[in-house]
Structure 1
Amino acid sequence: MLTNINPKLPMRDKKITMDFYLNKLGFQLFGSPNYDGYLMVQKDQIQLHFFEFKNLNPDENYGQVYIRTNSIDTVYQTFLDAKVWIHSNGQLENKPWQQREFSILDPDKNLLTFGQSL
């Protein structure tokens, strides 16, 4: 039986990634931050893992995660208050596929889309 999924996304600089997820998005460290070239963060029931990829070209990064929430408007406002840049093609809106969603890019241009069922 499948019970959970923890996406692994590329990062160029662990300190920058950690700062963004902890201080901008409100995640917390999971496990030890001392793993060489690896980072794990969590918020509520969501856990994201990152592996070091120093030669990553962010403009060629297609890392994407869809994160479901039951409080999309609160998450959106929290990010706005923290001055998180909302993707220009991912503003908060109701989609034809019955989701209310928005998207952001992290420092390595991993796309994070947050959505709630309508």
Structure 2
Amino acid sequence: MALKNITPMLYTREVRATVDFYINNLGFTCVGYADDWGWATVSRDEVEVMFSLPIEHEPFSMPKFTGSLYIRTDKVDAIWNELKEHAIICYPIETFDYGMREFAVYDYNGYLLQFGTPVDID
């Protein structure tokens, strides 16, 4: 059996506001929403992210995720131009010595989203 993909599940205390941010600021579409469950899924192209209210068995402070979500794209400059006015920027678009052209923004809850594409370094 092979692994197919990964869909992160991020906790939020405000599912609807988070979904609205992803739709209105990042160009995602809501593909699933259940207010009574405190859960939603958004997608854009081949990327999908789920959100839920924190589970009662685990303490929660926002955001508790200590890494970032790294989204690969073949149109990083176009996505930068689309998103740069709609989110808080962690760092602007740049080509790095390790062969990636990328930028990073924070989402509604403060989770870090990085967008990048490989480039040839001469």
* TM-score in terms of structure 1 length: 0.85
**Secondary structure, in 3 states, of the residue corresponding to 1:30?**
strand
Structure showing greater radius of gyration is 2
**Distance apart, 1:26 and its partner CA:** 0.8
* Identity rate, percent: 31
Residue 84 of structure 2 is matched in structure 1 by 80
**Distance apart, 1:61 and its partner CA:** 4.5
**Distance apart, 1:64 and its partner CA:** 2.0
**Distance apart, 1:62 and its partner CA:** 2.1
Which sits farther off after the overlay, 3-12 or 41-50?
A: 3-12
Cα distance change of structure 1 residues 29 and 60 upon mapping to structure 2, 3 Å threshold: closer
Which one-letter code corresponds to 1:69 in the other structure?
T
Q: Report the count of equivalent residues.
A: 114
Which one-letter code corresponds to 1:67 in the other structure?
I
CA distance in 1, matches of 2:18, 2:82: 19
Provide, for residues 55-77 of structure 1, a one-character-per-residue CA deviation record: whole Å limited to 9, x for no partner. Answer: 74336542521100000000000
Structure 2 residue runs of 5 or longer lacking an equivalent are: none
Structure 1 residue runs of 5 or longer lacking an equivalent are: none
* TM-score in terms of structure 2 length: 0.83
Greater relative contact order (Cα < 8 A, sep 6+) = 1
Which one-letter code corresponds to 1:34 in the other structure?
A
RMSD of aligned Cα (Å): 1.9
**Secondary structure, in 3 states, of the residue corresponding to 1:86?**
strand
Which one-letter code corresponds to 1:113 in the other structure?
Q
**Secondary structure, in 3 states, of the residue corresponding to 2:84?**
helix
Provide, for residues 76-98 of structure 1, a one-character-per-residue CA deviation record: whole Å limited to 9, x for no partner. Answer: 000125x32211xx211111221
CA distance in 2, matches of 1:5, 1:58: 22
Which one-letter code corresponds to 1:85 in the other structure?
I
**Secondary structure, in 3 states, of the residue corresponding to 2:74?**
coil
Which one-letter code corresponds to 2:110 in the other structure?
K
**Secondary structure, in 3 states, of the residue corresponding to 1:57?**
coil
**Distance apart, 1:52 and its partner CA:** 1.1
CA distance in 1, matches of 2:22, 2:95: 25
Taking the TM superposition and a 5 Å limit, the aligned residue runs for 1:93-108 are 93-108=94-109
CA distance in 2, matches of 1:11, 1:112: 15
